[in-house]
Structure 1
């Protein structure tokens, strides 16, 4: 990445950080994310996204649904150095996830080739840089526990798909990034933001690949409306990549 592009990316991260500090949420279009991530990473986009066709069914759905597929990976980051951690379960307390929380959930690990893909590495680096900036007033050099989630939500003529079956919620972390990978034959899937009292703060739809929302999870709740097919005879799915960042004690 050129020094000029690195400087521009840093400036855009500072703008997003200011919006997060002010509003608790910042939305960036796919075109804006392309500018932030740079052309080099975009050359790896097709290889990165192809693995969404090989996710495992989420067998922990308390509603009995078979509409969610996923893979999962954990990383640690400190001073800009990001390392993949040993594969482990995903855990949320029922305080944050009253539907599927309270148990250790073991998902298929994200493939090594996916993690090492240049696009994934660049995105992890940019998000870590961004959230380092966000944490700057509170923790000069935070250590992060990072979770990466690949999701595919499917829908059919007889079953809607719920991206957030727990409804409006927090994830119990510090910061969250949600990037749209693809959206095929989907109606609805509207992202909704609320303050802790339940007051609506706004809504928008991740429509185009790389559309991304950044959240200060300590300050806002978020949810996504269920999806259904535009054309009930066609395959329907919504693919996203979620990154969560939680401070850990050094």
Structure 2
């Protein structure tokens, strides 16, 4: 569906990852990453999306022992991202799948733009908290791009530790969908395959869907 929008729309959308901000909540030794977030509210009755100004993000320590228990505030995604037809198409596609899975519901939707860098000295840590849940109802993990990296295998597990899925996402908009209430996930470290003046990067769009009651 995204491909039908054309290369120019996709390039403009992808370029917004070049303007992310450092995640200053990560401590030394837990890797580095850049990110922005934005939030929407979806009402199924009138099929309306409302943009929210709130850029806070909270996880319990049970879900995130590394950064849980504190309210974090991140830079808001740029209007070139929030108003992109690519994002609108992705949200509609994700919502259509949830409509089939759990029916027509109201949702709080949080979009996380992530860039995970790595170089010859430091591995990239997409999930520095290790195997975990995010604390949402459903999570969509969309690959935007990866450059000069190896590794970064996406892994999904049952609560009993059994592997449900493992694969390295390589193609544009390749996606993992999680029922975050019943499954855990992690991503293996990213490494640079050879010396280069540029760091390796893995860009992801993570979209959280949380049921709301009105």
Category of TM-score, reference length = shorter chain = over 0.9
Distance (Å, rounded) in 1 between the aligned partners of 2:97 and 2:48: 14
C-alpha RMSD over aligned residues: 1.5
**Is 2:31–2:128's contact at 8 Å kept on the other side of the alignment?**
no
Q: Would you say 1:120 and 2:87 are equivalent positions?
A: yes
Structure 1 partner of 2:201: 237
SS state at 2:154 partner: strand
Distance (Å, rounded) in 2 between the aligned partners of 1:161 and 1:246: 28
Q: Would you say 1:165 and 2:128 are equivalent positions?
A: yes
Work out which of the residue numbers 191, 211, 214 in structure 2 matches 1:247. Answer: 211
Q: Would you say 1:152 and 2:119 are equivalent positions?
A: no
Count of residues in Structure 1 that have an aligned counterpart in Structure 2: 211
Structure 2 partner of 1:205: 168
Structure 1 partner of 2:186: 223
| Deviating more after overlay: 146-155 vs 104-113 | 104-113
SS state at 1:194 partner: strand
C-alpha spacing 1:41/1:135, structure 2 compared with 1 (3 Å): farther
SS state at 2:201 partner: strand
Distance (Å, rounded) in 2 between the aligned partners of 1:235 and 1:245: 32
Structure 1 partner of 2:37: 72
1:51-62 aligned within 5 A: 51-62=16-27
Query: Which consecutive unaligned segments of at least 5 residues does structure 2 have?
Result: none
C-alpha spacing 1:217/1:176, structure 2 compared with 1 (3 Å): same
The structure richer in helix per residue is 1
How far residue 82 of structure 1 moved from its aligned partner, in angstroms, is 1.3
Q: TM-score, normalised by structure 2?
A: 0.93
How far residue 63 of structure 1 moved from its aligned partner, in angstroms, is 4.5
Q: Deviations over 1:135-175 (max 9, x none)?
A: 12xxxx32101100000000011111100011111111111
The structure richer in strand per residue is 2
How far residue 42 of structure 1 moved from its aligned partner, in angstroms, is 5.6
Structure 2 partner of 1:21: none
Q: Would you say 1:180 and 2:143 are equivalent positions?
A: yes
Query: Which consecutive unaligned segments of at least 5 residues does structure 1 have?
Result: 1-35
